[in-house]
Amino acid sequence: MLKKIRVSNIHCLADTGWIDIKPLTFLVGNNSSGKSSFARIFPLIRQSIEHRTKGPMLWYGVNGYVAFGSFQDSVHKCSATQVDCIDFCFSYELEASQLRYSPWYRPVIRRSKTIDLKMTIKDNGDYTFIDSFSITNSDSVVRVSCLPGGPVCEICINDKIESGLGENIWVVTESFFPMLLHISPSEEGVYRNGIQVAFSKKLFEFVKSFSRSN
């Protein structure tokens, strides 16, 4: 279940800090303080999830949702330093029954745990892309850095670069949340169906080795 959200560098919002998501949430602030910008982030994410896009974001409104214009229109411009990225952070509370790994379906933990996801997006003038994303729990941090167009250039676990782990792995962003796919050099860019088992198993074992058994 989504518990908190945090957004940085969008419209007038330099950094919202972590905001609790409750069944009933009130936004209180001065005029032009960013209340509307924050509220519009939710339909922005929704339309980016529901519709296939070239990158992670669908900036233009669809089905009566919202129109942010473009990355250049949306990125925060009130800072003394030039900003070239937008950050989306989500904090989830997952039950132990939800934290399973395919294809073995073995529980990763035995009790509920908080998982944080952070996505950093940038734009190269032609399209918006995911620059990096990370998954954090109380025991470990996995960070994936990407190049424009999708290839993974680096995977770090607890600030340690795992050489070879991201080889031939691409980040596919046809919706808001990224998906990792393996591309065989012999296939010349043809995606395999889903993440390669060998890679996913290796990444799973890395993460598991940094996590407590409970």
DSSP 191: P
> Which residues partner with 6 through β-bridges?
89
Task: Specify the pLDDT at position 189.
Answer: 42
Task: Specify the pLDDT at position 125.
Answer: 85
Confidence of residue 193 (pLDDT cuts 50, 70, 90): very low
Asked whether residue 88 carries a pLDDT value surpassing 90, the answer given is yes
Task: Specify the pLDDT at position 98.
Answer: 52
More confident residue, 202 or 144: 144
More confident residue, 82 or 34: 34
Task: Specify the pLDDT at position 30.
Answer: 87
Mean pLDDT, the chain, whole residue set: 77
Distance (Å, rounded) from C-alpha 15 to C-alpha 184?
40
Confidence of residue 165 (pLDDT cuts 50, 70, 90): low
Sorted by where each begins, the domain ranges of the chain are: 2-209
Q: Label the pairing between strands 169-172 and 179-182.
A: antiparallel
Task: Specify the pLDDT at position 16.
Answer: 93
Q: Return the percentage of the chain with pLDDT > 90, whole number.
A: 21
Task: Tell me the two tokens of residue 177.
Answer: 């949340």
Distance (Å, rounded) from C-alpha 128 to C-alpha 125?
8
Asked whether residue 196 carries a pLDDT value surpassing 50, the answer given is no
Distance (Å, rounded) from C-alpha 129 to C-alpha 148?
6
Asked whether residue 213 carries a pLDDT value surpassing 50, the answer given is no
Task: Specify the pLDDT at position 173.
Answer: 74
Tell me the per-residue pLDDT of 89-110, one tens digit each, with 9 for 90 and over: 999 887 655 555 444 445 444 5
Tell me the per-residue pLDDT of 33-53, one tens digit each, with 9 for 90 and over: 889 999 999 999 888 888 877
Whether 134 contacts 142, CB under 8 Å = yes
Average pLDDT rounded to a whole number, residues 47-74:
84
Asked whether residue 31 carries a pLDDT value surpassing 50, the answer given is yes
> Which residues partner with 151 through β-bridges?
170
Q: pTM to 2 decimals?
A: 0.76
